[in-house]
Amino acid sequence: MADDFSEFVERSPSYLTIVPRPAGWEKVFEVAGWAIVPLIMGGFEIYGQLKKVGLPEVLVIAPESAVKWQVSGELEFCIGGFKNNILYRRHPHLETVYIQASEYNPYLLREKIAELARVMISAGATSFELSADSANTKKLVMEATAPIVAQANGAFRVSGRGATKIMWSYTGMGSQNPSLPEALVWYENEPEWQVVWESAAYHGAKHHNIQICQETSHELGSDLAVKFQNAGFQLGGSFRTVSSSRLRVDVIFGNN
């Protein structure tokens, strides 16, 4: 059998954690109510998929495997590499990229905004004002004083907090030769971005003013995060969720 992560990733769960191999490591998860299904693949140092009623499956890999696949470029952990015993979720459009659960939602929001800015600049924008904010942002609040490890009866709840906001102002000379940037992740799934690009690059558009309000479709929801945390997982920091988002763009193209 092949021993590279790409051969396995399409069949792997969307969630992943890295756990060292001390004796009795299985007991930590069993106490929290997880069933461990052995996973044997030639060359892989994978030793289980975790299953629990009401929760998605979680792939468990050894730190040695995480290092090997990261070095070979087959596995990427955003925001500071990987840490043991933290829950990660796979990127919605990049099969080998995993993001720690606590940063999943704000990371995707920032990534999308940065890509949109790249598209507008490459299309010849001389200026734009861009703002994005998330409504009903929430965080998890721990009500128990006991550590999280193997806390089958952990007590976490969701509490409201201020929304995440991004404001971006740009001025520049404007590209004379529009060309889509390389390695775009979101563009093919964002029809409004495609209209902005095509109208500026091919049809001489001078101005766009766009406002989009939508329910999030890729986020890790607070209800699921609570279940994971109460089932013994560490999320990697203060969890933030976004129930909906608003995007406002005012862009001027001057050198078409």
79 with 167, same domain: the answer is: no
Name the 3-class secondary structure at 106. Answer: helix
Instruction: Give the pLDDT score at 142.
Output: 39
d(CA 255, CA 206): 9
84 with 164, same domain: the answer is: no
Angle at 17 between CA 244 and CA 139, to 5 degrees: 30
End-of-domain residue from the set 64, 79, 101: 101
pLDDT in tens, 172-228: 988 888 899 999 999 999 999 999 999 999 999 999 999 887 665 566 777 788 888
If one counts the domains in the chain, the total is 2
pLDDT in tens, 11-43: 567 899 888 866 667 787 888 888 888 766 555
End-of-domain residue from the set 61, 81, 101: 101
* Tokens matching residue 225: 């995060």
97 with 114, same domain: the answer is: no
E strand or H helix that includes residue 223: helix 222-230
Instruction: Give the pLDDT score at 22.
Output: 64
pLDDT in tens, 111-163: 999 999 999 999 999 999 998 876 544 544 433 333 333 333 334 444 444 45
Instruction: Give the pLDDT score at 47.
Output: 62
Angle at 94 between CA 91 and CA 99, to 5 degrees: 30
Question: CA 75 → CA 36, 69, 186, 198, distances in Å?
Answer: 23, 5, 19, 34
Q: Which structural domain range is residue 246 located in?
A: 103-253
97 with 110, same domain: the answer is: no
